[in-house]
Structure 1
Amino acid sequence: MKSKYSILAAACLLLSISGAYAEIPTKEVVANAYVHSPEAAAAALTASEYTWFGLDFTYLKIFGDSGFKEAPTPLPAGWNELILNEQKKYDAVKTFGKKPVAYDFEPVAKRNKGINLDALIIQQEPPELTQQQIQKEVAALETGDTAGTGIVFMMESFSKPENQGYLHVVFFDIKTKAVLISARMSGKAGGFGKRNYWAKPVFMVMRQISDGVYKKLVKKYAK
C-alpha cells in the first residue's frame, strides 16, 4: 500500500512541476499583448497579406544550458534556415489567418551575424524584453522598399530549467517601423541537437497562434 501511495505522490509531483512551466495561456497572451492603438491593431490583423522577417536573436539570452559554448556558431542562421527549408512544418500561411505570406529573412540575417554565443549564456533568469527594446530593434531592420505589414519573432530567452523558449510575436508597419502589436509567448523545447531542441518552441508558438491566439486577437480588435 505504501509503495502505491509513493508512486501516486511522485506522479502528482511530476505533474505539478510540468504544470509550473507550462506555455503562457492564450487568454494571458491576448490580455497582455501590447497594441499601438486599437485602430493600429485592427489594421495589422485585417491586412490582406504579410511579410515574415523570421527570428531576430539580438536580445536572446540562454539560461542554464552551457552546452551552447560547444555548439556551432551559426545557430541563429541555422534556425532561420530550418524554417525556410521546412515551410510545410513551419506553416506561416496557416499560422497567420491563412493569408498570403512573403518571406524576407535577409534583414534579420544581418542583425544576427554579429552575435557572440558566449555572451548570450547567463547564470540567472533573464528579464522580459521591454517594449522600448522591441521597438528599437524593429527600427534597426533594413527592410528596403518593402511596405505593408511585417511580422518578426523577437527571441527573448531559452530557459533550460523551464524547458521553455520565450519570444515576442511582433506585427509592425514596414514603412514607418512602428510596432502595431507585440505579444509575448512561450513554447516547450524538445528534440535532438541544439538546433532542433530550441526550434521546437517556435513551432509550438506558431501552433498556438493558429489554434486560437490570432483569432482571439482579431475578435478583440478587428470585429
Structure 2
Amino acid sequence: MRNLLIICLILVSANIFAQDFIILKNGEEIEAKVLEINDTKIDYKKYTNINGPTYHINKSEIFMIKYESGDKDIFNTSAPTRKTVSPVYEKPNDFVYNPDIGTPNCQTQKARGAKIFGNRGNEVFFRQDLVYYGYDMTYARLSNPKRMGESMTLVQKYFNDWNLEMEKNVGYPEFKKWMRKPSMLLGTPVFNNYYKRDFNKFVEYGNFCISFDDLQKIVKSYVLRETQGIGMVINIVNFNKDREFSMQYVTFFDIKTREILYAVLTTGEAGGGGIVGHWAKGVEEGVRAIFIDEIFKPKLSNNGMIPSKIRLY
C-alpha cells in the first residue's frame, strides 16, 4: 500500500509540473504550464515558478503551443490585422524586369555569415505547406573588374550551368530532407525569369547588394501557379571575386499576399574548379552550411540569436 501511494504521488506530481512550451511569433519560447485557453488569451504559469502568479498572453501573439504530451496547437498564422488600410496585392500576369533593383558599390560583407529578415520564422520552421521555386539569378551580379565588358557572354554561357550545378548540390530533394518537409511541393521554377534581365549588366566593378525592400519587390513580381502556402526561393545576389564569396537570400513568403515571412541573407566562401563550380561552391556553403546547419536547424528567428562569428553587419 505504501509503495502504491508513493507511485500515485509521483504520477500526480509529474502531471502538475508537466512542461509546455508557448512559442511566440517573434521567436520567443516560454516554458510554462498552460492553465486555460479562451477566445482571446491564454492563462499560464511559469514553469520555473509553478506556484507563482498566473500570467496572461494574447492569442494573437502566439504561433504554437507544444504540450508536454507531444501534442501541438498551432494558432492563426495570418498577419495581424492593421487599422490602416493596406494596398491590395494584385497578382501579375507577366513577369516584368525592374532595372532599378539592387545597390552597386555597397558595403562588402564577410565571406561567411548570415543576417535574418522578417519576424515570422516560426511559421517556416513548423508549417509543412511549402512550395519550392528554385534559384533566381535575375538580378545576380558578378563583382570582378577584370571581367568588365564580358557580361553578355557570361550570362549566355554560364547561367544555365550555374542553375544545374546549384540544384544538383542543394536542390529540392535536399531541402525536403534537411528541413524535414516531406510535404514540400515543387512549383514552376522562377529561374527562367532571367531571360528578361539586361544581359549587359551582369558584371560590376565593385560590390553589389539587394536590400530587403528590393527583395520584397522581386517576390511580388513573380508569376506563380499556386495561390496559397509558403513559397521558397533562393535569390542569388552577388559573386564577389575580390572577397571570394557568394551572397544569396533564402527567402520564404506567403504565396497569397507575397509578404516575406522570413529571409536569411547568407554569404559562403567560393572554391572549386572552373567558373561554374567555383561560385556554385560558394552558394552551397552559404545555403547548406550557413542557412541549414547554423540557422534553420537550431531555429534561429532573429539576429540576436546568431553567433557573433557569423553575424553579418
Q: Which of 189, 192, 197 is 1:115 aligned to? A: 197
Query: Is residue 140–residue 202 contact of structure 2 (8 Å, CA) maintained in 1?
Result: yes
- Structure 1: which 5+ runs fail to align? 1-19
Q: Partner of 2:136 in structure 1? A: 56
- Does residue 175 of structure 2 align to residue 92 of structure 1? yes
Q: Which of 102, 105, 113 is 2:185 aligned to? A: 102
Residue 180 (structure 1) shift = 0.4
Q: Which of 137, 142, 161 is 1:78 aligned to? A: 161
Distance 1:108 1:166 in 2: 17
* Alignment RMSD: 2.8
Give the fraction of aligned pairs with identical amino acids, expressed as a percent. Answer: 20
Q: Partner of 1:133 in structure 2? A: 214
Distance 2:125 2:190 in 1: 23
Query: Is residue 80–residue 105 contact of structure 1 (8 Å, CA) maintained in 2?
Result: no
How many residue pairs get aligned? The number is: 190
Q: Which of 147, 150, 158 is 2:239 aligned to? A: 158
Query: Is residue 139–residue 197 contact of structure 2 (8 Å, CA) maintained in 1?
Result: no
Q: 1:46 to 1:74 in 2, by over 3 A?
A: farther
- Does residue 265 of structure 2 align to residue 184 of structure 1? yes
Amino acid at match of 1:122: E
Higher strand share: 2
Distance 2:206 2:170 in 1: 34
Q: Which of 224, 230, 238 is 1:149 aligned to? A: 230
Q: Partner of 1:5 in structure 2? A: none
Q: More relative contact order in 1 or in 2 (CA 8 Å, sep 6+)?
A: 1
Residue 45 (structure 1) shift = 1.9
TM-score between both structures, scaled by the size of structure 1: 0.73
- Does residue 127 of structure 2 align to residue 44 of structure 1? no
SS in 1 for 2:243: coil
Distance 1:180 1:213 in 2: 15
Question: Which structure would you say has the larger Rg?
Answer: 2
